[in-house]
Structure 1
Amino acid sequence: MTYSGTKRGGGSSKRERLAAAAAQVLHEQGMEKTTIADIARAADVPVGNVYYYFKTKDQLVEAAIGAHAQALADMISALDALPAPQDRLKALLAGWVGQRDLTARYGCPTGSLASELDKRDDGLDQTLAKVIRVLLDWAEQQFLALGRTTDARELAVALIASYQGISLLTNTFRDPELMASEGRRLERWIDSLA
């Protein structure tokens, strides 16, 4: 999954820019290294203004999760415009493969954040799990539409797990071609299921 990136200019509020910047900076630097000043700089917002919208770094993390949720909703909306479930699943793969250079450098934005949040005891991991569940449920619906009524959930889990695994390997080895190769394999797999 990818975040929408930082929006600059009059088309988005400072709050939205800060949320998108938080998602971006947390992805690039991780939670421990990221400061509120880093996020303010990425959003092109004076650091003093951040506290008007978000009192703590945890509130910014929660806003970043909201940015991930919005980016996912936008992506699903675009995918749902495609005519067939097989096309939608392949377009999802193409989006992941299209982000392979970013993944090679920083890992999966949502998966990396989920891994970091799992080490904390504040419930934000469960907030992010709800976002990931939306993608999992959507993928299950695509497999159901392909006629896979008995194993649609298992196939959805396999697809998302494959993406998360290849994201980790792509990042570990800093090799975008790993993601491209796995994307091609997953396309053949989807074709075999239809």
Structure 2
Amino acid sequence: MGGSLTRDRIIVEADQLFYEQGFEHASFAQIAKALGISRGNFYYHFKTKDEILDAVISHRLVRTRSMLDGWELEGETPIDRVRSFINILIVNGAKIRRYGCPVGTLCAELTKLNHPARDHAKELFTLFRVWLRRQFEQLGLGDEADELAMHLLGFSQGVATLSSTFNDDKFVQNEVNRINEWLTSVTTRAEVQPEIL
């Protein structure tokens, strides 16, 4: 097996274990065992757990950018694109109910640990924030675009946390409906604002 392929497999497996068990509880041994590789092979690629964490966060950033780019291409309007973000709560519902939001749980854990990588992990939320802000700007809500982006991020994180806590599909669907209603009201407000010449 090629070195690059092994390294990539370690990152993917570590990403999954960090999500399911948390960074602090996942171990080198678990990752190596899941992949069926020796510890020597493992240490050839990563000397420390922090090196793996950095690689996992970088991997998540690449995947998140790709997902946002996909939404940009698929969504005809900014509203369609924002709805793609909102619907993550449904699309990834089973995982979120079991493990929470992958971004939120990682950021919260690293903050609790006062881990130096917390700022790197925060870049994941920043990607969503900037992308959502751009959608609201395209809707003509430039003055409040960042505030709306943060509101939506906060709303979705709250739903993800309570979804994980209560494991209640109906709650999640109701909240997604409410978020979509909120988006419609924001959009309607943008449409009725008079144009400034």
TM-score (norm 1): 0.88
Whether 1:83 and 2:76 are equivalent positions in the alignment is: yes
Structure 1 vs Structure 2: percent identity of aligned residues? Answer: 32
* Mapping of residues 30-179 of structure 1, within 5 Å: 30-43=22-35, 45-81=37-73, 82-179=75-172
Deviations 1:143-178 (A, max 9, x none): 111111211111000100011111111111122332
**How large is the Cα RMSD of the aligned pairs?**
1.9
Residue 19 of structure 1 contacts residue 66 of structure 1 at CA under 8 Å; is this kept in 2? no
**CA contact 1:20–1:64 (8 Å) conserved in 2:** yes
| Uncovered stretches (5+) of structure 2, i.e. residues with no partner | 188-197
Inter-partner Cα distance in structure 1 for 2:21 and 2:40: 21
CA contact (8 A) 1:143 1:155 kept: yes
Alpha-carbon contact 2:57-2:121 (below 8 Å) kept: yes
Match of 2:16 among 2, 18, 24: 24
Deviation at 1:58, TM superposition (A): 1.2
CA distance in 2, matches of 1:187, 1:62: 35
Aligned twin of 2:192? none
Change beyond 3 A, Cα 1:17–1:162 = same
Which of 80-89 and 173-182 deviates more?
173-182
**Bigger radius of gyration among the two:** 2
Tell me whether 31-40 or 78-87 shows the greater mean CA deviation: 31-40
Task: Give CA-to-partner distance per residue, 1:82-123, whole Å, 9 cap, x none.
Answer: 221000011112223211111111111111011110023342
Q: How many residues align?
A: 185
Structure 1 unaligned blocks of 5 or more: 1-8
Q: Could you tell me which amino acid in structure 2 is paired with residue 15 of structure 1? A: R
Structure 1 residues 127 and 178, CA gap change in structure 2 (3 angstroms): same
| d(CA) in 2 for partners of 1:144, 1:180 | 27
TM-score (norm: length of structure 2): 0.86
- State whether structure 2 residue 189 is matched by structure 1 residue 189: no
**Are 1:97 and 1:179, in contact at CA under 8 Å, matched by a contact in 2?**
yes
Amino acid at match of 2:16: Q
